[in-house]
Chains A and B, each alone.
Chain A
């Protein structure tokens, strides 16, 4: 049984190998062509890397841009100001809000409301449609204010920013975020009320973790089984392997499958969510650990609400403090550096080696979807016994729903 999965980022199909009613094997096959991004940046000046790598993905360009910048700054030992860090974090919050909102409303929700696509959602459930639009817009707007454009950011470069927003823009943004947080709360309640397939499957969850806050920009990586490692050691723990049937790679943690993404972040950093969010989760009786991949959907909704609140606070602080205009100032230095940030879909690693003249000698990128694929294939096998008595079309629909819960991005995984 095989079927192409529509409504995901990129092109993929799943393939089930069945033998007398039992499932023998499940595969996810990426259909995108390879672009060899890692090879493309080799031999180029480091300034080109954030521009080129952001083009890996059209839904999460900001995170590729920032992770690549971080890795290059590590390699050349560039120090950036606290203000730059704050603005970059805000960009990431915007990235998470817009990516999750798009995935949840446009790709996931139609499945559960029984409509074919999001445009019908507009006709049949205008109340949900409007919230989707508001949240997506606010996510895009945050990135646009700080980096110039939402799809493929512009002014965010190695060392800092080339342009800064005017104060009026911040007021405008603050107003939008304050309105959006209500929508985000309603969205969390909506997604919590959906009926998901049941699949209890505790896994090893990996995410950045900091003792102080719900960190997604700069911290060590922690696993739910207790291992802690820093970004530059990631190759010892997370290994990419190649399987013959697909162009995407597969990531394993110490040889085993694991999960990254919203569900992993919530499981690792639950207590560091905003107090308002924790109170709401208590009311909704959501507690960790979340163990079903379908709960990734709820975890994303939680994050949208959380980051709307955080963004609002941070922008108020920025307005009080005022934005200083400071331009990148650093010297080119040879070295090797790794950046790890939390993308909407999980931990993203970029690694660069740079020579004396600022040319990139080596580049390695490990995307979150690559790390999730082994676990996804395994979960299809686990889900199958539950759905095997349904008509074939229904079975395929259920498997598609599982694939979408993982929010895979095949363009990133193939890059």
Chain B
């Protein structure tokens, strides 16, 4: 099958994460021919692709055009990372009134074109990305985890940070990262987006003990449109 890997505006950390242990990535190459990957190769083709991976958010006119072109050229479009999924750190400016006003809103990839799957996280969990690619190759539906980070945090036998008085978003965030932040003693900031059945009201109640309303909102906005992505009761099919 053919693969295109594209980067819009972002830190490109997800691409590097894909390459992080070259050997594993080289294994994925047994399944795919890479036709476009401008980070790593000189000759890049415009398509068509069986699968396209897209990271980042479209910020410039050229990037919007590129993204729409990728959609036309690809059978399956998979977003890579938090920027493409929630808007990423740059999407904080969607919520700022004064600081960076006058600038266009940041749009996650799914608000511009239809997407087939999303690999989430800032940065992505590379194992999950490889698994998704292999699943697609074999015609399987990629498995998406639907339990909160808390589940994995408990599994790693980490003391609950929320109980220690640290405002952690692990309970409403989709797992699959193996609770890497909380295991390293740092609170979850929700980079993987909300898990289904998120009770936003309840978590806000709990965080009020440590933070002001403004701080709670800022925390939920750090990776972009977390709240917008919460699936409400009745929306699910």
In contact, B60 and A31 (Cβ under 8 angstroms): yes
Report chain A residues within 8 Å CB of B8. Answer: 33
* Chain B 25-76 interface residues, beta-carbon cutoff 8 Å to A: 26, 29, 34, 37-44, 57-60, 62-63
Q: Does B141 contact A (CB under 8 A)?
A: no
Report chain B residues within 8 Å CB of A150. Answer: 20
Known: A40-B92, A152-B123. A32 touches B184 (CB 8 A): no
Report chain B residues within 8 Å CB of A107. Answer: 40
| Chain A min CB distance to B38 (Å) | 4
Q: Does A34 contact B (CB under 8 A)?
A: yes
Q: When chains A and B are docked, how far (Å) is the Cα of A39 from the Cα of B100?
A: 6
Q: Does A292 contact B (CB under 8 A)?
A: no
In contact, A58 and B13 (Cβ under 8 angstroms): yes
Name the residue of chain A whose CB is nearest to the CB of B214: A43
* Chain B 91-132 interface residues, beta-carbon cutoff 8 Å to A: 92-93, 96, 99-100, 103, 122-123
Report chain B residues within 8 Å CB of A110. Answer: 42
Interface residues on A, range: 35 or more
Known: A150-B20, A151-B123, A162-B185. A36 touches B93 (CB 8 A): yes
| Chain A min CB distance to B168 (Å) | 12
| Chain B min CB distance to A244 (Å) | 16
In contact, A119 and B222 (Cβ under 8 angstroms): no
Q: Does A176 contact B (CB under 8 A)?
A: no
**Which segment, of A6-14, A84-92, A222-230, faces chain B?**
A6-14
Known: A11-B7, A117-B41, A122-B26. A137 touches B21 (CB 8 A): yes
In contact, B99 and A39 (Cβ under 8 angstroms): yes
Q: When chains A and B are docked, how far (Å) is the Cα of A140 from the Cα of B228?
A: 34
Q: Does B196 contact A (CB under 8 A)?
A: no
* 30 intermolecular pairs with C-beta atoms under 8 Å apart: A7-B41, A7-B42, A32-B9, A33-B63, A35-B59, A39-B96, A39-B100, A40-B89, A42-B99, A43-B99, A55-B13, A58-B11, A58-B12, A58-B123, A102-B19, A118-B22, A119-B34, A119-B41, A140-B20, A140-B21, A147-B184, A148-B180, A148-B184, A148-B186, A151-B20, A152-B122, A154-B184, A155-B184, A157-B186, A162-B184
Known: A6-B42, A132-B22. A35 touches B60 (CB 8 A): no
> Which A residues fall within an 8 A CB radius of B?
4, 6-7, 9-11, 31-37, 39-40, 42-45, 48, 51-52, 55-59, 61, 102, 106-107, 110, 116-119, 122, 129, 132-133, 136-137, 140, 147-152, 154-155, 157, 161-163, 411, 414
Known: A31-B60, A106-B19. A411 touches B10 (CB 8 A): yes
Counting from the closest, the 4 A-B pairs by CB-CB distance are: A33-B59, A58-B13, A162-B185, A148-B184
Report chain B residues within 8 Å CB of A32. Answer: 9, 59
Interface residues on B, range: 35 or more
Report chain A residues within 8 Å CB of B14. Answer: 58
In contact, B13 and A61 (Cβ under 8 angstroms): yes
User: CB < 8 Å: which of B16, B44, B89, B215 contacts A151?
Assistant: B16
In contact, A58 and B186 (Cβ under 8 angstroms): no
Report chain B residues within 8 Å CB of A10. Answer: 12
| Chain A min CB distance to B70 (Å) | 15
